[in-house]
Amino acid sequence: MDIIKFGIVTGCILLLSTVGFSMIWKSEKFLNIAHGQLILVGAYIAYLFNVTLGLPFAVSAIGSVVVTAFIGLLIAKVFYYPVRHQGQLVLLFTSIGLAYVIYGTVQALAGTKVKAYNLAPTQALTIGGKSFFTPHEIAIIFIAITCALSLHIFLAKSKSGRGIRAMAENIRLAQIRGIHFSRLYTFIWLIASGLAGLAGVLLAMNGSLHTDIGWIEILVVLSAAVLGGSGAIYGAMLAALIIGLSMDFSTLIIPASYRPTVAFLIIILVLFIRPQGLSKGGST
């Protein structure tokens, strides 16, 4: 029961970070490796608000999501937009360089010691003598489900959401339809970066806060995105839950420190058996 519980929580956090990564992959057509460091930034901004400034955790979390969203948009406008037309490889290497810069900056400012938020200790709810989720874990699951449903409604029902889907599927056809790309790209970067920040906060809340979480998480996020199908948003949601459960189930037979290895094994199997991932053609 505990393994399933941990796997669901891990999958929910991974869902948030993978969906944001997949949105950038699908719309900008490159792998944004710096996305992992936005997860790190979100976690540490919440720490700044919560521990250093003494704000309530909920306020700190919301503030972190907003600030991280705009940091992500600023990074895109300053570093990615100017080289967008030079090809995917240039964008990829730019993102790798930015990842190291962000990582080094956070490490220089915050130090390398493991940190934690100011949160009241909680105990798992017990029903019939059996232990279930803690209030923090319930909050993580609720937030992930709410974000997933909200994003689905936005993409399916709103004009901007339909524009994003059209742009991701066929950019030339979207141009013919007169869709305003600049505004949609702004929405995409804000949403993706905000989700990364939120994932960072929940990741640190569920475990510990250290400067390596960005590098660790981006590897697992990449695995989930590949399993979901080359930037497919809905596929990424399902893939995140599958990988989250798989990593935690793997601790029954391998040490917990090797959990990310399972994600890479899944990537290898997917590339051999079903290269298009869970979503055929990688479509949203």
What is the pTM (predicted TM-score) of this model?
Answer: 0.91
Taking only the tens place, the pLDDT of each residue in 141-197 is 999 999 999 999 998 888 888 888 877 777 777 766 767 778 889 999 999 999 999
Taking only the tens place, the pLDDT of each residue in 185-242 is 999 999 999 999 999 999 999 988 999 999 999 999 998 998 888 767 888 888 899 9
Identify the pLDDT of residue 129.
66
Reported confidence tier of residue 133, pLDDT bands at 50, 70, 90 = confident
Tell me which amino acid residue 175 is. Answer: Q
Helix residue ranges, H only, the chain: 2-28, 35-47, 57-75, 88-110, 135-157, 159-169, 171-176, 181-206, 213-228, 233-250, 259-273
Q: Which pair of structure tokens corresponds to residue 241?
A: 């839950």
Is residue 174 classed as helix, strand or coil in its secondary structure? helix
Q: How many CA atoms lie within 13 A of 139 on its CB side?
A: 15
Percent of residues, the chain, with pLDDT higher than 70: 94
Identify whether the C-beta of residue 245 lies closer than 8 Å to the C-beta of residue 11: yes
103 vs 232: which has the higher pLDDT: 103
Euclidean distance between CA atoms 216 and 201, whole angstroms: 15
Reported confidence tier of residue 104, pLDDT bands at 50, 70, 90 = very high
Euclidean distance between CA atoms 108 and 126, whole angstroms: 43
**Per-residue pLDDT at 276 exceeds 70:** yes
Reported confidence tier of residue 283, pLDDT bands at 50, 70, 90 = very low
Reported confidence tier of residue 121, pLDDT bands at 50, 70, 90 = confident
